[in-house]
Amino acid sequence: MALDFRLSEEHLAVRESVRRLCREEVAPLVNDAEENEVFPRELFRLWGRLGLIGARYPADDGGAGLDKVADCIIREEMSAVCQGFASSWSAHSHLGIWPIWKAGTAAQKLRYFVPALAGEKIAGFGLSEPDGGSNVRALKTRATRVPGGWRLNGSKLYITNSPIADFVLIAARTRDELSIDAISLFIVEGNSPGFAVSRLKKEGIRSSETGLIHLDDVFVPDHLLLGEREGTYPLILESLSENRVGVAANSLGLARAALEASVAYAGQRLVGGKRIGDYQAVAHRLADMAADIEAARWLVYYGAWCVDQGQLTPDLAARVKLVASETAVRASESAIRIFGGAGIMREYPVGRIHRDALVYVIGEGTSDIQRNLIARGLGFKP
């Protein structure tokens, strides 16, 4: 089969549509949201009306029926304008509701997945804990069976959307042993007694609201155990692998935004009567950024293609995420250096882009976790 690196007409139409939306309706909201660290909730309803939340889901389930390549195009365009907004969209559209679509009962889908697709309910995903970090199997949040349901106790840290979520999927241990059926997912509504969220202030993705969740004897009825069955740990791993390709596309959008801002600035900033882009030191920095980003772009979209072909492996997802996130950090740092003093002024976007890029060498599995996964794919056990 011949190689074809061109996007389809449908993909190009998606890119143009989302790019226009971001430019005309999303970009004007960015500065206030970033300064106030408050997410504009109306964006969820807008995304719902336009089918962006359901882009990745089948038409039979209320989605747009698009593929992973289209999903990554949407992520890249959103992130090029505001990563904070893109992070909240991602936590909602994938992590928060994908497991419900994949494994939920018909009643769970009707009550949570359907309104979430419309942007009428906001979702979150509670996995990371204060003591566990990226080690999913070390989580301590405990679900204890009681008559009619379960009691959840524990805490979840750095949970995107939790301060504004109508419901959060909570991963909890239902057994002591480290077996694949010892960890399950529960749908916990934000107004449940004993469920409390402390808002966190962040350096990056400031417009994406993040919190520390406290679970103090929270009762969850049996019908809100995801799929009404224990042992959804493999589903968590599957969700994380695909989402690593997704957040790699987010990182690509950040890197692209850093390059575009740098090229524009280097073309209009004059020093000694010359554009700074005409000085070799700056020109070479721009050239390195462009080359790195182009390499990352094709790895990201190859990863998306592998998702669509059912060929994504954990070590490939790790490669995609590692390369794209580290590229975004390098590109955004280079952008600040090109801007000089202006690079740390808030009237320019590159400082924000760099802060946001740093999120993705940590979130969704740190770069070192990705390196561990890659090494295991090579036959080693770090």
Domains in the chain, please, with CATH?
Answer: 9-102+109-117 (1.10.540.10), 123-231 (2.40.110.10), 234-377 (1.20.140.10)
pLDDT at position 193: 98
pLDDT at position 180: 66
pLDDT at position 133: 64
pLDDT at position 1: 55
pLDDT at position 300: 98
pLDDT at position 181: 79
pLDDT at position 55: 96
Cα within 13 Å of Cα(246), Cβ side: 28
Place of tokens 């770090």: 382
pLDDT at position 134: 60
Q: What angle do CA 371, 172, 199 make, to 5 degrees?
A: 80
For each successive 10 residues of the chain (382 residues), what is the average pLDDT?
A: 85 98 97 97 97 96 96 98 98 96 98 98 95 74 97 97 98 84 94 98 97 98 97 87 94 98 98 97 98 98 96 96 98 98 96 97 92 96 92
CB 66 within 8 A of CB 184: no
Residues 296 and 25: their CA atoms lie apart, in Å, by: 28
Residues 76 and 114: their CA atoms lie apart, in Å, by: 25
Residues 6 or more apart in contact with residue 337 via CB below 8 angstroms = 285, 343
Neighbours of 279 (CB within 10 A): 14
The reported pTM is 0.95
Between strands 167-173 and 123-126, the pairing is parallel
Tell me which residue of 252, 272, 261, 274 sits closest to 338, measured CA to CA.
Answer: 261
Residues 6 or more apart in contact with residue 204 via CB below 8 angstroms = 83, 355, 356, 357, 358, 359
Tokens (6 digits) for 77: 């365009």
Tokens (6 digits) for 88: 């909240």
pLDDT at position 239: 85
53-56 long-range contacts (CB < 8 A, ≥24 apart) are 53/89, 53/92, 53/93, 53/116, 53/117, 53/118, 53/119, 54/93, 54/117, 55/14, 55/93, 56/93, 56/94, 56/98
CB 221 within 8 A of CB 51: no
Alpha helices in the chain (DSSP H): 9-21, 27-36, 42-49, 68-81, 83-90, 98-103, 106-108, 114-117, 233-268, 280-308, 314-339, 350-359, 367-377
Neighbours of 13 (CB within 10 A): 13
Amino acid at 222: D
SS3 270: strand
CB 142 within 8 A of CB 173: yes
CB 110 within 8 A of CB 51: no
Residues 171 and 236: their CA atoms lie apart, in Å, by: 9
Report, as residue numbers or ranges, the catalytic residues.
364
pLDDT at position 241: 85
Residues 313 and 203: their CA atoms lie apart, in Å, by: 32
Residues 16 and 9: their CA atoms lie apart, in Å, by: 11
- Cα 314 → chain centroid: 17
Tokens (6 digits) for 376: 């295991």
Q: CA torsion angle for 341, 342, 344, 348 (degrees, to 10)?
A: -170
Residues 6 or more apart in contact with residue 105 via CB below 8 angstroms = 223, 227, 228
- Cα 38 → chain centroid: 18
DSSP 9-65: HHHHHHHHHHHHHIIIIIHHHHHHHHHHT---THHHHHHHHTT-TTTTS-GGGTS--
pLDDT at position 4: 84
DSSP 331: H
